[in-house]
Amino acid sequence: MSKIEEQVIEKMLNRAEVGLNKYGVTMERDDISFLEWMVHWQEESMDASIYAQRIINEIDAFLEELRFLRKRNEWLEEVVALLQEEGVDLSTEGFPIWNEDGTITRE
């Protein structure tokens, strides 16, 4: 079994314990009809669709921002290249310097 499957099983066991503590019954209860189980399942599925849509919206917004940042990065790379072609030494002209480790140095 993979670690992912083990994580899912662990979550299922925890969820069963929470349900038992919260409702005082297990899934083996017999006080709910088959139809009521189906309605409950449908309601949970609709909730899951809402959660999925929210996540889709967030991912879409992140991707839109990523596209924007990539375009801005292309522009900045062109600006830096043009300045360097003109002989401008960015480190001595007061420009912030982007370091390979992702930090910015201001000298």
Cβ-proximal residues to 90 (8 Å cutoff; 6+ apart), any chain: 80, 83, 84, 97
pLDDT at 13 over 80: yes
pLDDT at 6 over 90: yes
Q: Residue 49's pLDDT is what?
A: 97
Contact yes or no for 107/91 (Cβ under 8 A): yes
Q: What is the mean predicted confidence (pLDDT) over 35-52? A: 97
**pLDDT digits 0-9 by tens, 56-87:** 999 999 999 999 999 999 999 999 999 999 99
- Is this model's pTM higher than 0.75 or not? no
